[in-house]
Chains A and B, each alone.
Chain A
Amino acid sequence: MSLLEVKNLSFTYGIGTAFEKQAVKDVSLNIEQGEFIGIIGHTGSGKSTFIQTLNGLIKPTSGTVLLDGKDIWSDPKKIRRVRFKVGMVFQYPEYQLFEETVEKDIAFGPKNMGLKENEIKERVKIAARFVDLKPELLKKSPFELSGGEKRRAAIAGVIAMDPDILILDEPTAGLDPRGRDVLLSQIYAYHKSKNNTVLLVSHSMEDISRIADKILVMNKGSMFAFDETKKIFSKGEEIEKIGLQIPQITKIMIGLSKKGYNLPTDIYSVERAVFEIMKLRGKKLEEKASI
């Protein structure tokens, strides 16, 4: 049994109004415990709507979401429990900080779960450590923090609920390259140490390809592809055709193979590209020598 099973899921906004729009069309997929999934797609491709159906923020128009084999909507009154299991970090989560201190803000989720005081304290501490927030910051007002710190505090608030599945919607948007790298490596380290399931939405194929086991590509509300990262990149050209950016390095490898060089095109890291091109050159030199 998969951790999360999505079956024929569709969602339509504003049914019966002039603004009726089908945002998600017949998506079916399984997500296993411990997987790191990257989600990519245009604005309007349905990716944000899709992830919101996974923790019951949006009720699908048709189709089901099974968590641990159980339909999350089987008892609508208990949908809140699903949200403790499936934690969601929205875009620009720093706009949602509201408490007097950082500590209280991070504690908000665990408190709502009805945990005991010392358990909450422990969780706040651990969550803050995961996102590398210094202990002295916990007593400060969230509004005294820098932009990057605010974002990490907001993410800590979701981590503190210790969700089985953590979903992040463009967590690095607006950060500079260093901030982006630090945050992604923190999320990855958290994933590795907890062995929990992470879904990460991003516009950057380059970022996703570095850390995701599998990638879901959404296009016009439908699932365009869902496969292991390497296999997704072997479809590089098709993905470019639907208007998504593939990493520059993948483009270069496709360009070289079009020129007749026998090189793999499912490459998304500079190191691998160097390795393959050096290997090709080695072969060419050998051929020369044998003639």
Chain B
Amino acid sequence: MQFIDVKDLVFAYENYDENDNDNKGFEGEETQSAVVLKKLSLSVKKGEFVALLGHNGSGKSTLAKMFNGILQPDDGSVTVCGMDTSDDDRLLDIRKKVGLVLQNPDNQLVASIVEEDVAFGPENLGIEPGEIRRRVDEALKAVDMYEYRGHAPHKLSGGQKQRVAIAGIIAMEPECIVLDEPTAMLDPQGRKEVMDTILKLNREKNITIILITHYMDEAALADRLIVLDGGEILTQGTPREVFTNVELLKSHSLDVPQATELAYKLRSSGFKIGNTPLNADECVEEIVNALTRKSVN
């Protein structure tokens, strides 16, 4: 049994206009049908770091809300550790296992002091005060915000707020965290803070991560990349496998990292590039190899 299993998932918004603006694309979209997810199947292993890529309107945010039963399938199923999200009796257990972090940190913080905000989740789970104290401290340390525990959330930077939101989820001790574009509203410094935190949680605490992002450099850090297009899986694999297919991604007007694009273009003009590079350092190394190889021949 996989940690999360999605089978033949179908989902449509009943009234497209009223339900969810987030799932409308940039172009206005009268032409698109209201079916957002079309018989989609995937699974996620315990401890895995999966990145979901795709345009606005590709269904990724809708999918994110499926993992802990905020939305439920019209057809097909979503199971977490064997528990079906459409089973109301198991919903609380599922939500204890899978936490969700959203795009805008300002919409997720509820209390006027950082540590109270982090305590909100565990308090609602009916956990004992002593245990809550321990969890809050540990969660804040995990995201490097312990020294800010007495601060007011509205005075923090975007990256700090988002880390507090993540701490609020960690304090519920979930096995999996789903993050829906957590860095979209942050500056480069804030993005780095949040990404470092996500990687640390995945590697040190073995928390399963499902990250939805538009940033290719963030997606390149994942174990596995799933690209969604029009409610279906366009392609998936390790970041290197997916990004090697530059033409497929470009034809769906998706970005690839510049390092990958450069290597791709050099390769098609006769350069011998071995591995597809995902970052600047790898790319430099590949080009140096190719250039020296040439001069040796």
* Number of residues from A at the complex interface, CB < 8 A: 44
Nearest CB of A to B238, in Å: 19
Nearest CB of B to A129, in Å: 15
**Cα distance, A245 to B22, chains bound together (Å):** 29
Q: Which of B21, B188, B262 contacts A270 (CB 8 A)?
A: B262
Q: Does A18 count as interface, using CB distance less than 8 angstroms?
A: no
Cβ-defined contact, B259 with A252, below 8 A: yes
**Cα distance, A113 to B157, chains bound together (Å):** 37
Residues of A within 8 A of B21 (CB): 146-147
Cβ-defined contact, B262 with A274, below 8 A: yes
Using CB atoms, name the residue of chain B closest to A44.
Answer: B157
Interface stretch (choices A6-14, A155-163, A277-285) = A277-285
* Number of residues from B at the complex interface, CB < 8 A: 44
Using CB atoms, name the residue of chain B closest to A284.
Answer: B295
Residues of B within 8 A of A149 (CB): 26, 28
**Cα distance, A140 to B172, chains bound together (Å):** 43
Q: Which of B29, B217, B294 contacts A284 (CB 8 A)?
A: B294
Cβ-defined contact, A259 with B262, below 8 A: no
Q: Does B108 count as interface, using CB distance less than 8 angstroms?
A: no
Cβ-defined contact, B279 with A248, below 8 A: yes
Can you list, as one digit per residue, whether each of A149-177 has a CB less than 8 Å from chain B (1) or not (0)?
Answer: 10000000000000000000000011111
Nearest CB of A to B247, in Å: 15
- B25, B217, B257: which has the most chain A beta carbons within 10 Å? B25
Nearest CB of A to B60, in Å: 10
Nearest CB of A to B296, in Å: 10
Residues of A within 8 A of B157 (CB): 43
Residues of B within 8 A of A137 (CB): 28
**Cα distance, A153 to B34, chains bound together (Å):** 24
Cβ-defined contact, B189 with A42, below 8 A: yes
Cβ-defined contact, A178 with B29, below 8 A: no
- A144, A206, A273: which has the most chain B beta carbons within 10 Å? A273
Q: Does A255 count as interface, using CB distance less than 8 angstroms?
A: yes
Q: Does A241 count as interface, using CB distance less than 8 angstroms?
A: no
Cβ-defined contact, B261 with A134, below 8 A: no
Q: Does B24 count as interface, using CB distance less than 8 angstroms?
A: yes
Cβ-defined contact, A284 with B291, below 8 A: yes
Cβ-defined contact, B258 with A270, below 8 A: yes
Using CB atoms, name the residue of chain A closest to B17.
Answer: A144
Cβ-defined contact, A274 with B266, below 8 A: yes
Residues of A within 8 A of B35 (CB): none
Interface stretch (choices B36-44, B63-71, B112-120, B280-288) = B280-288
Nearest CB of B to A177, in Å: 5
Q: Which of A144, A147, A249 contacts B258 (CB 8 A)?
A: A249
**Cα distance, A148 to B29, chains bound together (Å):** 11
A147-B21, A176-B26, A270-B261 as given contacts; A43 in contact with B280, CB under 8 Å? no
Residues of A within 8 A of B280 (CB): 248, 251-252, 255
Cβ-defined contact, A147 with B265, below 8 A: no
Show 30 A/B contacts (Cβ-Cβ < 8 Å), sorted by A. Answer: A137-B28, A144-B17, A146-B21, A146-B24, A146-B28, A146-B29, A148-B25, A149-B26, A174-B103, A175-B26, A175-B56, A176-B56, A177-B55, A178-B26, A203-B188, A245-B188, A248-B257, A249-B259, A251-B280, A255-B280, A256-B284, A270-B262, A270-B265, A271-B265, A273-B262, A274-B265, A274-B269, A278-B269, A280-B291, A284-B294
Query: Other than the known A146-B25, A203-B188, A256-B288, what 9 A-B pairs have Cβ atoms closer than 8 Å?
Result: A42-B189, A43-B187, A149-B28, A177-B55, A177-B254, A178-B26, A249-B258, A252-B284, A284-B295
Q: Which residues of A contact B (CB under 8 A)?
A: 42-43, 134, 137, 144-149, 173-179, 181-182, 203, 206, 243-245, 247-249, 251-252, 255-256, 259, 261, 270-271, 273-274, 277-278, 280-281, 284-285, 288
Q: Which residues of B contact A (CB under 8 A)?
A: 17, 21-22, 24-29, 55-56, 103, 157-158, 184-185, 187-190, 214, 217, 253-255, 257-259, 261-262, 265-266, 269, 271, 279-281, 283-284, 287-288, 291, 294-295
